[in-house]
Amino acid sequence: MFSGGFESIGKSLIYLGVMIAIIGVIIHFGGKAVNFGRLPGDIRIERENFSFYFPIVSSIVLSIILTIILNFFTRR
């Protein structure tokens, strides 16, 4: 009845845990080396009583990195 169903869920949870751990290590140790969130192209507007920040380039870079990582784990 449950042949293989729980095995695939278990593998998915392991991959998810590994990805979260890798991302955590990169954020913890790489935060000082790379000014992620302050890349050229990120929009920052500061006025007296107003502050607006839109990290468009950081979002694109993060999307590319996550796409590469997910393709690495999902391709067989």
Tokens of 76: 């067989």
Can you tell me the distance from the alpha carbon of 15 to that of 11, in angstroms, rounded to the nearest whole number?
6
Q: What is the pLDDT of residue 72?
A: 77
Q: Are residues 29 and 63 in the same domain?
A: no
User: Which helix (H) or strand (E) covers residue 51, if one does?
Assistant: strand 51-54
Q: Are 27 and 40 found together in one domain?
A: no
Q: For residue 42, what pLDDT band results from cuts at 50, 70 and 90?
A: confident
Mean pLDDT for the stretch of residues 9-13: 83
Residues 28 and 39 in one domain: no
Asked if residue 55 and residue 24 are part of one domain, the reply reads no
> How much is the pTM?
0.55
| Mean pLDDT computed over 20-25 | 84
- Mean pLDDT is lowest, of 1-5, 8-12, 65-69, for 1-5
Q: What is the mean pLDDT of residues 17-41?
A: 77
